[in-house]
Copies of this chain bind each other. A is one copy, B any other.
């Protein structure tokens, strides 16, 4: 007899590079987003939430990973009554959508328009350890202001925000650079080929990792990296590479010294001189605001991968060390970045609209706080009212209703109540502080049993029972004292 062929079962798996977040992972992120929104709001920024889906046309092509499939975005074509329509895509950041929003609604928005936005973004990239294709960003941008005061303010706000979410001063640094300075250096090198310029920018971005020697190799013939792979170089000769090195090593003891070094590095490039002047103004404004080099520094090695930046660029780095997956010490690294992008709105309107902003990688920041043990403790579960008699579910529901009305998190056990041990195991798995028991005898006598599970766990763990044996961990109280006794136990641990 032929067996009937069944449809195969679907695989219960997130798509590659995606993941699920449980319990405190979700609530701690929500809390951090609210904290950040609080700072942004105090600085005068208004909330904006644009849709996750944009036309590919509106998003444009600004991702650094040009080699990736679909150029880094998740995209599909609209299907309208059988006809093919627009190409749509998931946003890859919150900045490109802001440019579209501003262009679309500019007649109704104030000028300058200061907005903040938070939410997931998606990148169609090769996933790796700790590298996901959906992650949260939390951005603030000022559209319509060409003043470097706007850039300086964003840097100051970024420093304030990091401290508000729990990164103390000294554990982070905001580094500021200017694309115009970079462009000035490239100009003074006579590099006009876009591909070669991009290759040089990518190399500069690796300065932190590979150091001066590594950059020299990468600008020249190439380099054997730590994994043994050979990385092709840009192909410049030593003389050509020299201005890049001068630029990268221009960071002085003070902002003023760095500025002086940069003036030399850009030579007689007009755009370079403009960039240095802007950095000087930013440094002055920050100094006036009391943001010293313990929080914000001018640092020529900052590049930022995105192609749309046109002026000041900045990033925030956490400076404490963590152990990587192989147990080696390394700096935690970048958690936020941004810069000025004066041409993004112009794409739509034809008119120049200056803009600047910052994006905080909320998931990276949460990982940092977890790494430091500042968040991530297990949350307390609900009080569990056990079910001794499944016909009296109404009685048990009344108990949890009373507890909840008193503001106490509580639930009835809703699994199969036959095995009482399973009910206590469940309470344990939920990290419940208290279990409530009302069997037939208790019901007849008008009492309930209240089990202190935190104390119970301590007794179970304790080698010497003596120290606990005077303290009971189960109490019989009149039914009408249920709420007050539970509250008493909860308060004894708070």
A325 within 8 A of B: no
Contact between A404 and B20, CB atoms less than 8 A apart: no
A35 within 8 A of B: no
* Cβ–Cβ < 8 Å partners of A76 in chain B: 74-76
Contact between A11 and B147, CB atoms less than 8 A apart: no
Contact of A53 among B15, B114, B414 (CB under 8 A): B15
Shortest beta-carbon distance from A486 to chain B in Å: 14
Most chain B beta carbons < 10 A, residue from A20, A27, A384: A20
In Å, the complex CA distance between A152 and B397 comes to 10
* Cβ–Cβ < 8 Å partners of A49 in chain B: 20-21, 25-26, 29
Contact between B100 and A12, CB atoms less than 8 A apart: yes
A208 within 8 A of B: no
A373 within 8 A of B: no
In Å, the complex CA distance between A51 and B26 comes to 12
In Å, the complex CA distance between A133 and B54 comes to 12
Shortest beta-carbon distance from A16 to chain B in Å: 8
* Cβ–Cβ < 8 Å partners of A52 in chain B: 52, 90, 120, 122, 134
Contact between A397 and B9, CB atoms less than 8 A apart: no
Contact of A110 among B57, B348, B429 (CB under 8 A): B429
Please give the count of copies of this chain that the complex contains: 2
In Å, the complex CA distance between A39 and B417 comes to 25
Shortest beta-carbon distance from A161 to chain B in Å: 12
In Å, the complex CA distance between A41 and B266 comes to 58
A257 within 8 A of B: no
Give the number of residues in A that approach B within 8 Å (Cβ atoms): 106
In Å, the complex CA distance between A150 and B46 comes to 41
Contact with B along A122-159 (1 / 0, CB 8 A): 10000000000110000000101111011011001000
Contact between A105 and B47, CB atoms less than 8 A apart: no
In Å, the complex CA distance between A412 and B133 comes to 37
A485 within 8 A of B: no
Q: A394 and B122 in contact (CB under 8 A), knowing A14-B50, A105-B20?
A: no
* Cβ–Cβ < 8 Å partners of A410 in chain B: 42-44
Contact between B12 and A398, CB atoms less than 8 A apart: no
Shortest beta-carbon distance from A360 to chain B in Å: 17
Most chain B beta carbons < 10 A, residue from A42, A48, A146, A407: A42
**Those of A1-24 within 8 Å (CB) of chain B:** 9-16, 18-24
* Cβ–Cβ < 8 Å partners of A101 in chain B: 20
Contact of A20 among B51, B60, B111, B390 (CB under 8 A): B51
Contact between A20 and B74, CB atoms less than 8 A apart: no
In Å, the complex CA distance between A14 and B102 comes to 11
Contact of A397 among B26, B105, B288 (CB under 8 A): B288
Contact between B394 and A15, CB atoms less than 8 A apart: no
Contact between A285 and B112, CB atoms less than 8 A apart: no
Contact between A12 and B285, CB atoms less than 8 A apart: no
Contact of A21 among B48, B120, B384, B395 (CB under 8 A): B48
A237 within 8 A of B: no
* Cβ–Cβ < 8 Å partners of A9 in chain B: 347-350
A58 within 8 A of B: yes
Shortest beta-carbon distance from A353 to chain B in Å: 11
In Å, the complex CA distance between A345 and B301 comes to 51
Contact with B along A340-373 (1 / 0, CB 8 A): 0000000111100000000000000000000000
* Cβ–Cβ < 8 Å partners of A166 in chain B: none
A411 within 8 A of B: yes
Contact between A142 and B15, CB atoms less than 8 A apart: no
A388 within 8 A of B: no
A206 within 8 A of B: no
A289 within 8 A of B: yes
A188 within 8 A of B: no
13 contacts between A and B (CB under 8 A): A10-B348, A12-B58, A12-B103, A13-B55, A14-B100, A20-B50, A22-B46, A23-B47, A74-B76, A75-B76, A112-B426, A114-B411, A114-B414
